[in-house]
Amino acid sequence: MHRIVVKLGTNVIMRQDGKVALGLLCSLMEQVAAIRDQGLEVLLVSSGAVGLGVERLGLTTRPTVLAQVQACAAIGQSRLMSLYGDAFDRLNCPIAQVLLTEDDFRDPMRHSNLRATLDALLTLGVIPIVNENDTVSTIELERPLDGAPKKERIFGDNDKLSALLVKHINADLLVLLSDVDGLYDRNPQDPGAILLPRIETIDESVLQLAQGGNGRGRGGMISKLESAQIAMRAGKQVIIANGRTPQVLERIVAGEDLGTRFSPVLAGSWR
């Protein structure tokens, strides 16, 4: 492997009580620094901005009003980057913030510029930290001007954004880290649930295994499966694993079987 994309979900960054999982986050950053020192180029897609904004405002639950969610994202994004900046500075790893909207993939010029910038950052040894620009992108998608029809969604959450990035920056592997060990043959809370170590094809029967999200993030297992499908069609390998597993990233890079591994298929036309 030469280049990998790692997506950190809200349920990895935030604890159940709504506070930052600081110890876990620092451990993951140390692992990113370690695999970078091995010569790998790493791009992070990080959720958590809304959750950090909710926590900073002292709210007990995530808002349901669109403008308030965007406000939380604006507040939380600066806190998120501050956490990454402080920790990666101590690890001697330069970072860069990249906030994207769906138009960055629609518009050919913006898409070309995005690819060139990310490629330059990775070549220079910088760790790009990517997030959807929730402060503005949701307005564009949910409130079209002059009664214009809504645009077709390209990603809409960070799971799918990370899959698109794997494809467009020619990465070798996508690692989706959440609070579950991978895909199970039934609800993972069932004592008899069995972890599925490898998936060759995502069909309707596999999609039906997905359970809904817990309300803190926008994704959930169904989003991760749809994202894995995008990356697989582009000929990329995908792993869904538990971000709380000790040394999870280093062990994955070393070739250890963790989580659920999705095998690449022949690249198809997907945008």
- pLDDT tens digits for the chain (271 residues)? 899 999 998 889 888 888 889 999 999 999 999 999 999 999 999 988 988 999 999 998 889 888 898 899 999 999 999 999 999 999 999 999 999 988 888 889 999 999 999 999 999 999 999 998 877 765 433 544 445 545 555 556 889 999 999 988 999 999 999 989 999 998 888 888 999 999 999 988 898 888 644 444 445 889 899 999 999 999 999 999 999 999 999 999 999 999 999 998 754 433 3
Are 96 and 121 spatial neighbours (Cβ–Cβ below 8 Å)? yes
Q: What is the DSSP letter of 148?
A: P
Q: Which contiguous run of DSSP H or E holds residue 3? A: strand 3-8
Contacts of range 62-65, beta carbons closer than 8 Å, 24 or more positions apart? 62/215, 62/216
Which pTM does this prediction carry? Answer: 0.87
CATH placement of domain 3-262: 3.40.1160.10
